[in-house]
Protein backbone atom coordinates (compact mmCIF):
# COMPACT_ATOMS: atom_id res chain seq x y z
CA UNK A 1 0.00 0.00 0.00
CA UNK A 2 2.82 2.40 0.80
CA UNK A 3 4.36 1.95 -2.69
CA UNK A 4 1.01 2.84 -4.28
CA UNK A 5 0.91 6.04 -2.23
CA UNK A 6 4.50 6.85 -3.20
CA UNK A 7 3.56 6.54 -6.88
CA UNK A 8 0.89 9.23 -6.37
CA UNK A 9 3.29 11.70 -4.81
CA UNK A 10 4.48 14.49 -7.16
CA UNK A 11 7.99 14.12 -8.53
CA UNK A 12 10.64 16.75 -7.87
CA UNK A 13 11.13 19.16 -10.78
CA UNK A 14 14.56 17.64 -11.49
CA UNK A 15 12.90 14.24 -12.21
CA UNK A 16 10.19 15.53 -14.55
CA UNK A 17 10.56 14.89 -18.26
CA UNK A 18 11.38 18.03 -20.17
CA UNK A 19 9.22 18.51 -23.28
CA UNK A 20 11.21 18.56 -26.49
CA UNK A 21 11.10 21.72 -28.54
CA UNK A 22 9.41 21.12 -31.86
CA UNK A 23 10.96 22.65 -34.96
CA UNK A 24 8.98 23.03 -38.15
CA UNK A 25 10.60 21.66 -41.33
CA UNK A 26 13.23 23.97 -42.84
CA UNK A 27 11.37 24.32 -46.15
CA UNK A 28 8.30 25.71 -44.32
CA UNK A 29 9.94 28.07 -41.82
CA UNK A 30 10.01 31.16 -44.08
CA UNK A 31 6.34 30.74 -45.01
CA UNK A 32 5.39 30.19 -41.36
CA UNK A 33 7.08 33.43 -40.31
CA UNK A 34 4.98 35.36 -42.85
CA UNK A 35 1.62 33.95 -41.70
CA UNK A 36 -0.64 36.69 -40.33
CA UNK A 37 -2.77 36.20 -37.20
CA UNK A 38 -5.89 37.51 -38.92
CA UNK A 39 -8.95 36.02 -40.71
CA UNK A 40 -8.50 34.47 -44.13
CA UNK A 41 -8.46 31.43 -46.41
CA UNK A 42 -5.55 29.02 -46.90
CA UNK A 43 -4.81 26.12 -49.26
CA UNK A 44 -2.55 23.09 -49.03
CA UNK A 45 -1.13 21.76 -52.28
CA UNK A 46 0.51 18.42 -53.10
CA UNK A 47 3.91 17.96 -54.69
CA UNK A 48 2.63 18.77 -58.19
CA UNK A 49 1.02 21.92 -56.81
CA UNK A 50 -1.71 22.21 -59.43
CA UNK A 51 -4.86 21.21 -57.49
CA UNK A 52 -5.34 22.01 -53.80
CA UNK A 53 -5.48 19.07 -51.42
CA UNK A 54 -7.29 21.13 -48.78
CA UNK A 55 -8.92 24.56 -48.58
CA UNK A 56 -9.62 26.04 -45.18
CA UNK A 57 -10.71 29.26 -43.55
CA UNK A 58 -9.97 30.64 -40.11
CA UNK A 59 -10.27 33.72 -37.94
CA UNK A 60 -6.57 33.28 -37.06
CA UNK A 61 -4.66 31.98 -40.09
CA UNK A 62 -1.33 31.56 -38.28
CA UNK A 63 -2.75 29.49 -35.44
CA UNK A 64 -4.89 27.32 -37.71
CA UNK A 65 -2.17 26.55 -40.26
CA UNK A 66 0.32 25.76 -37.49
CA UNK A 67 -2.22 23.38 -35.93
CA UNK A 68 -2.26 21.42 -39.21
CA UNK A 69 1.52 21.05 -39.05
CA UNK A 70 1.63 19.60 -35.52
CA UNK A 71 0.79 16.07 -34.55
CA UNK A 72 -1.04 15.37 -31.25
CA UNK A 73 2.25 14.64 -29.40
CA UNK A 74 3.56 18.12 -30.24
CA UNK A 75 0.35 20.01 -29.47
CA UNK A 76 -0.30 21.59 -26.12
CA UNK A 77 -1.57 19.12 -23.50
CA UNK A 78 -4.64 21.37 -23.08
CA UNK A 79 -5.65 20.93 -26.72
CA UNK A 80 -7.23 17.74 -28.00
CA UNK A 81 -7.61 17.13 -31.72
Task: Give the pLDDT score at 80.
Answer: 43
Checking 23-26 for CB contacts under 8 A at 24+ apart, the result is 24/66, 24/69
Task: Give the pLDDT score at 10.
Answer: 60
Q: How far apart are CA 39 and CA 24, in angstroms?
A: 22
Q: Which residues contact 37 (CB under 8 A, 6 or more apart)?
A: 60, 61, 62, 63
For the chain, give every domain's residue range.
Answer: 36-70
For residue 14, name the pLDDT band (cuts at 50, 70, 90). low
Cα 26 to Cα 29, 30, 40, 44: the distances in Å are 5, 8, 24, 17
Model confidence pLDDT, tens digit, residues 20-78: 566 777 878 888 888 899 999 999 888 887 889 899 999 999 999 888 877 666 555 54
Task: Give the pLDDT score at 24.
Answer: 76
pTM comes to 0.55
Task: Give the pLDDT score at 37.
Answer: 92
Amino acid sequence: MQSAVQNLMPKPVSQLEQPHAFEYPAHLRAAIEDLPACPGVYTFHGQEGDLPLYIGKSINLRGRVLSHLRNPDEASPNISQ
